[in-house]
Structure 1
């Protein structure tokens, strides 16, 4: 079975970091075309999973090529 889902690749690194609880996740596009997702280690497991899914939506919707972050967040 071949999986062609771009989200099931090694091009997304996921890390957990203690951050202010007002920040649930950050997504960073990397120069090589990969992405880094940083999940707040201080929030609950349930919120971590929701934050991860939120980050994946940004990647899937190619939000990093768009101009207005506020419009992107309001649309989600």
Structure 2
């Protein structure tokens, strides 16, 4: 999940939690589902930010040798 998915889950959860009456559907309490989606979206948002931060911190070294010059002996 990316940052957009986390924000989407938070928005849908907020709509379900705060925009719908608690007794709108008798099978499932949509307010509780909304709170669960908001927590899941927050976790997804935090995890994607942590993973993005780790990717930015790492760097790659590419060593390229020409066939005419052998690599130095260590």
Structure number with the higher strand fraction is 1
TM-score calculated relative to the size of structure 1: 0.31
TM-score (norm 2): 0.32
Richer in helix (by share): 2
Q: Which structure ranks higher in relative contact order (CA pairs < 8 Å, sequence separation ≥ 6)? A: 2
Structure exhibiting the larger radius of gyration computed from Cα positions: 2
